[in-house]
Amino acid sequence: MHQGSVLSPLFFAIVVEVKGKRKRGQLRKTWRSQVEKESKSVGLKKEDAKNRTKWRVGVGEISGRVG
């Protein structure tokens, strides 16, 4: 991994977990949790990102469902 990429906002959105207390009520939907939910619904796994064809088909299925 390139050193500069560790400081990118995308890195923090994907990897960093926020510590501390949260407010009461229903949890907010995060980008990460939504991606995991949609990927699971079409059977995509992290390892599938290495298989470009399978990844494109899965992402195409997800984007076809979204509003």
Judge whether 32 and 14 are in contact, CB under 8 Å: yes
Q: Please list, in sequence order, all residues whose beta carbon lies within 8 angstroms of the beta carbon of residue 14, skipping any fewer than 6 positions away.
A: 32
44-60 as b/e, with b when 16 or more CB fall inside 10 Å? beeebeeeeeeeeebbe
What pLDDT is attached to residue 2? Answer: 52
**C-alpha distances in angstroms, 9 versus 16, 29, 31, 64?**
10, 18, 13, 27
For the stretch 22-65, pLDDT in tens is: 778 887 788 888 888 998 998 888 888 888 898 888 888 888 86
Judge whether 24 and 1 are in contact, CB under 8 Å: no
What pLDDT is attached to residue 31? Answer: 83
pLDDT band for position 67 (cuts 50, 70, 90)? very low
